[in-house]
Amino acid sequence: MRLLFTNHQLTHYTGTELFVRELTTALKKRDHQVAVFSTRLGKVAEEIRAAGIPVVDDPADIPFTPDLIHGQHHFETLAALLAFPLCPALFHCHSSGRWQETPLIHPRIIRYAVITPRYMPWFKEEFNIPADKIDVVFNTVDLTRFQTVRTPSTTPEKALLFTSTISDGTVLDTLKAACKQCDLP
């Protein structure tokens, strides 16, 4: 399959940038033809290119006509749809805080993917996207890349909160209370 991925930028090690790098390299290893379009190129773009994947800042430079556009971010997805007027697309939303993540409404977007069920009402109510066109696709991890290196301690020594946003103090307050109960600093 020939797949075109879009992303707002490929300059830093942020979530969507690493998602594109990891997914495109995995798909290339499975003999899919992949390319990436972004308006801002940098070190992540170079890493993707080093894996033998075309990365361009103009969709006209994609070396093939894609079978599917895997669109991330509003402007870049629209630019790819305009460059390939017969190609269907998937719009993948990773966040709700930035305008780039606002779902693009276009007749050739055949599916929408969100990383959490929490985004489904936003897509349905604010943008009138039917629930049967939205799929929840949780973030993944390559289990062959990350192996167990040691057995965890039975007594916790540290706590880690992994999130891009905390909408209110309850999550952080709950974590602090749990740490205090376990005598964690």
Distance CA 92, CA 104 (A): 10
Q: Residue 140 has what pLDDT? A: 76
Distance CA 125, CA 98 (A): 18
Q: Residue 172 has what pLDDT? A: 77
Q: Residue 87 has what pLDDT? A: 97
Length reported for the chain: 185
Which long-range contacts (C-beta less than 8 Å, at least 24 apart) are formed by 164-173?
164/15, 164/95, 164/97, 165/95, 165/97
Q: Residue 16 has what pLDDT? A: 85
Residue range 30-58: average pLDDT? Answer: 96
pLDDT tens digits for range 123-170:
888 889 999 999 998 877 777 777 777 787 777 777 777 766 666 667
Cα 127 to Cα 27, 88, 132, 143: the distances in Å are 31, 19, 14, 36
Closest alpha carbon to 33 in 72, 8, 9, 62: 62
Asked whether the predicted pLDDT for residue 35 surpasses 80, the reply is yes
One-character DSSP codes across 128-167: ---GGGEEE------TTTS---SPPPSS--------S---
Asked whether the predicted pLDDT for residue 180 surpasses 90, the reply is no
Closest alpha carbon to 87 in 70, 73, 59, 108: 108
Q: Residue 167 has what pLDDT? A: 63
Tokens 């600093």 identify what position? 185
Tokens 């269907």 identify what position? 88
pLDDT tens digits for range 102-136:
888 999 999 999 988 888 888 888 889 999 999 99
Q: Residue 164 has what pLDDT? A: 62
